[in-house]
Amino acid sequence: MIPYVFDIKRASTVDGPGVRTAVFFKGCNLDCKWCHNPESKSPGPELALMTEKCIGCGVCKEVCIKTDSCVLCGECAENCPADARKLYGRKYAADELYKIISADIDYYSATGGGVTFSGGECMLYPDFLAEIAEKCAAGGISVAIDTAGSLPWSNFEKVLPYASLFLYDVKALDPELHRKGTGADNSLILENLEKLIGLGKYIIIRTPVIPGYNDGDELERIKKYCTDRGLKHELLPYHAIGESKKAALKAAK
């Protein structure tokens, strides 16, 4: 199964060490209330409309191939002169994606960077992820997997041979708090994390700091968990960009 990709960021410096290309897959099996990429939740393509950019020119209607029911062809977004419309989601074959990633291999080599597969939840697509990760590893490109870890261990086993780093999200250790914020239990997340630690994998724990949710005692517990296990811990600042994206997705429906 080839997943939809909603964004590819070249020259990223916030998705792991060094200069990286970050590939964001659509589809997520958590429902974080603070999600700043709501366009990543659905596995399929989605259209967004930034109403504040719209100039009312009507080009979108002129190029629409089926005005009575959107078929997500992307023509309106492609032709919008004000960039008010955007189609999130495109499929790339592994060879096509590798060509994009490998274009910056000199920067990866010079900075200790590589490629980061993220989402959404990239690990929902273990077969495709293993295929593209294998290509990258064989080409001398360091592979990082950004995951929330709420998946069967068998998914991890498929990418383990090719991943040199796991960026592992830990939002909360308390089970009830985790369920309150993400809609899911965290037992599998922590179980998989302990397995990765046991295998000696390079892991960076990343925690989004959400005001009123995990920015107090819970954050201290996460810090201690990382310290006790000798894990690097990164804090991700909260921002509300997801709200405008939600509005844009809703406006296009």
Nearest to 147 by CA among 231, 18, 61, 30: 30
pLDDT 10s digits, 159-170: 999 999 999 999
**pLDDT score for 195:** 98
Residues 6+ apart with CB under 8 A from 229: 197
Domains and CATH numbers, the chain: 4-34+92-240 (3.20.20.70), 46-88 (3.30.70)
Q: Kindly list the distances between the CA atom of residue 190 and the CA atoms of 45, 129, 176, 195, 210, in Å, as whole numbers in the listed order.
A: 31, 22, 14, 9, 20
Of the pLDDT bands very low, low, confident and very high (cuts 50, 70, 90), residue 176 is very high
Of the pLDDT bands very low, low, confident and very high (cuts 50, 70, 90), residue 241 is confident
Tell me the C-alpha distance between 208 and 228, whole Å.
Answer: 20
Of the pLDDT bands very low, low, confident and very high (cuts 50, 70, 90), residue 67 is low
The pLDDT of residue 94 is above 80: yes
pLDDT 10s digits, 37-61: 999 999 999 999 999 999 999 999 8
The pLDDT of residue 215 is above 90: yes
The pLDDT of residue 201 is above 80: yes
State pTM to two decimals: 0.95
**pLDDT score for 5:** 98
Nearest to 5 by CA among 88, 127, 115: 88
